[in-house]
Amino acid sequence: MVDLFLNQVLVENNWDQDELNTEREITGILENRILMLFFASAECEKCQKFVTVLNDFFKRLKDPFFIEYPKLLALIYISLDQSEKQQERFLKELHKKVLFLGFEDPYRKELQTMFKVKDVPTVLVLRPDGSVLSPNAVQDICLYGSDCFQNWQESAELVERSFMLNEEFDKLNLRSATDPIRRLKYKTEDDKRRKRWWKLLGKAKEEEEEEEEEKEEDWDKKSSDGDKGRWRIR
């Protein structure tokens, strides 16, 4: 699936509209993810109505406000607009984490032909290996919302992000299926070492406090004996 965009330029729908054009950037944002290709047009009334539903679906799976571990999902808007102005207007309605192809990019039309997209809106869902999971998930998204992602995830056999122990999955290099288990083991061992260290530190602190108390007692005793001696001299 990553190969589908390796030689292309993807643009982030943020304020700066950052371009992703290197193999590392494209791989980092698309690898091991379910990919949604959203074919739509600003002129399409159905698209205008559906974009609100799609935004809600996407943010519930990606925004930290709604979910602790963002899902392994990427959404790319494939514009079928007739002008760049129309595309820009439609992009303002889309979530800021959505990716898109520039209006001048001919690859938009190639993708439309490749996947035989005739109607809009169309949400084509691809597995990480590039195979088609759903030719058009618009109806499923409208009916089931973010719940339908679980079916996609099971079908694609993705590793759940919540198993990654609070690490940023985007920066992980998952070498094997047992990698998360090894990380869990190492994390547990690190916790044990930290606990032993704090225990030793606490014990040392207690001994230091006991030593200070003994010194204070000796000082009080000496002071008391000294006072008694001076009293007897008088």
3-state SS class at 132: strand
Q: Which residues are within 8 A (CB) of 101 and not within 5 positions of it... i.e. 6 or more apart?
A: 8, 9, 10, 11, 76, 77, 78, 79, 107, 108
**Structure-block tokens of residue 81:** 């607009």
Query: Band of the pLDDT at 234, cuts 50, 70, 90?
Result: very low
**DSSP characters over 149-173:** HHHHHHHHTPPPGGGGTT--GGG--
| pLDDT of the residue at 92 | 94
What Cα–Cα distance (Å) separates residue 92 from each residue in 64, 188, 201? 21, 45, 56
* Dist CA 80 CA 41 (whole Å): 5
Interval 176-186: pLDDT, tens: 444 444 444 44
Is 0.75 topped by the overall pTM? no
Taking 90 as the threshold, does the pLDDT of residue 212 lie above it? no
Helix (H) or strand (E) holding 148: helix 148-156
Query: Band of the pLDDT at 162, cuts 50, 70, 90?
Result: very low
